[in-house]
Amino acid sequence: DQQVKQNSPSLSVQEGRISILNCDYTNSMFDYFLWYKKYPAEGPTFLISISSIKDKNEDGRFTVFLNKSAKHLSLHIVPSQPGDSAVYFCAANTGGGADGLTFGKGTHLIIQP
């Protein structure tokens, strides 16, 4: 039973355009959400997070939106750059962020020149 779902295994976006990665969750106890980026043969790198008390958090080109009623979050990357090509994982946890993370299976983002 997957509690965090990323339904798009891959996404192709043209350089300079907006990339939108989606994530759905089922556990209403989740109160902290994160996005990680992963290159091959490396560990995941933290990108951006959002607490359940907010609906938006922005950091440079990256914005995360949280819709609690729909149990949905999304990561927007604007503008997309070639270095953004990687696998993006959505993750969530409870306990104010202290617990182990529950991850989605990831979306492979490909930025085309």
Partner 1 sequence: GAGVSQSPSNKVTEKGKDVELRCDPISGHTALYWYRQRLGQGLEFLIYFQGNSAPDKSGLPSDRFSAERTGESVSTLTIQRTQQEDSAVYLCASSLVGLAGGTQYFGPGTRLTVL
Residues contributing to the site for partner 1 (CB under 8 A): 4, 6, 32, 34, 36, 41-46, 49, 51, 89, 91, 96-106
Nearest to 88 by CA among 27, 11, 28: 11
Smaller CB separation from partner 1, 3 or 74: 3
CB of 77 to partner 1, least distance (A): 19
Distance of closest approach, residue 46 Cβ to partner 1, in angstroms: 5
d(CA 75, CA 96): 21
Query: Which lies closer to partner 1 via its Cβ, residue 32 or residue 80?
Result: 32
What DSSP state is assigned to residue 101?
Answer: P
Q: CB of residue 91 vs partner 1: minimum separation in angstroms?
A: 8
| 80/104 with CB nearer partner 1 | 104
CB nearer to partner 1: pick between 70 and 98: 98
Q: Where are the beta strands (DSSP E) in 26-71?
A: 32-38, 45-51, 56-59, 62-67
CA–CA gap between residue 64 and residue 30 (Å, rounded):
16
CB of 1 to partner 1, least distance (A): 13
Listed in sequence order, the residues at least 6 apart from 62 whose beta carbon sits closer than 8 Å to its beta carbon are 35, 47, 48, 75, 76, 77
